[in-house]
Chains A and B, each alone.
Chain A
Amino acid sequence: KQEVTQIPAALSVPEGENLVLNCSFTDSAIYNLQWFRQDPGKGLTSLLLIQSSQREQTSGRLNASLDKSSGRSTLYIAASQPGDSATYLCAVRRNDYKLSFGAGTTVTVRA
């Protein structure tokens, strides 16, 4: 069974600091990995999707890396802003095509 872990569960940083969010998974036989953002009481918004054959994906201030062999992905957010405050979830698509989610890291960026 695929287990997805995100540590820490919560993170508070001053505005302008770079954010580093970690995601680990137990089974390296994955199809792809996706990072989502969730605002309180809202649905999920897809940020980045990395296929299993890729090492990283970038979108604006966001960069996500994938190391399948070690079962890890990292989401970097450069020059954080108060608007980046949200919960960030990673999800791994298994080879049976279902998604396994981590519990998320709740980020607070202080102005």
Chain B
Amino acid sequence: DGGITQSPKYLFRKEGQNVTLSCEQNLNHDAMYWYRQDPGQGLRLIYYSQIVNDFQKGDIAEGYSVSREKKESFPLTVTSAQKNPTAFYLCASSHPVGGGEDTQYFGPGTRLTVL
């Protein structure tokens, strides 16, 4: 059963804590992405990775960090430097851009709330 999994579904963080959101895919996709979704706004790109051991900042990378040690996994850490982290976080994956079939497939999301 191929797809993208994200965990946990809900996450609560205290002020000043770092938290890590998990994203795993078994679609054999090279590219992976992290987005943030806020009410009434479109998704905004945080980080993306086109290949293992390489990643680039998206439009709103400040206060976030990522790693890409395995093709299947792209965890996102929300650090204490992120001033307004409460949001819905979505992970996606796709074949390499430019290959024609570059539809992005999304996970079910993680809702992060800062207490």
Contacts and interface: CB of A to CB of B under 8 A. Distances in A.
Contacts, number: 54
Interface residues of A, number: 24
Contacts of A36: 106
Interface in A68-111: 89, 91, 93, 97-104
Interface of B: 4, 6, 35, 40-45, 48, 58-59, 88, 90, 92, 97-98, 102-109, 111
26 contacts: A4-B42, A9-B40, A34-B103, A34-B104, A36-B106, A41-B88, A41-B109, A41-B111, A42-B109, A43-B6, A43-B109, A44-B90, A44-B104, A44-B106, A46-B104, A49-B103, A93-B102, A97-B97, A98-B45, A98-B58, A98-B59, A99-B104, A101-B35, A102-B42, A103-B42, A104-B42
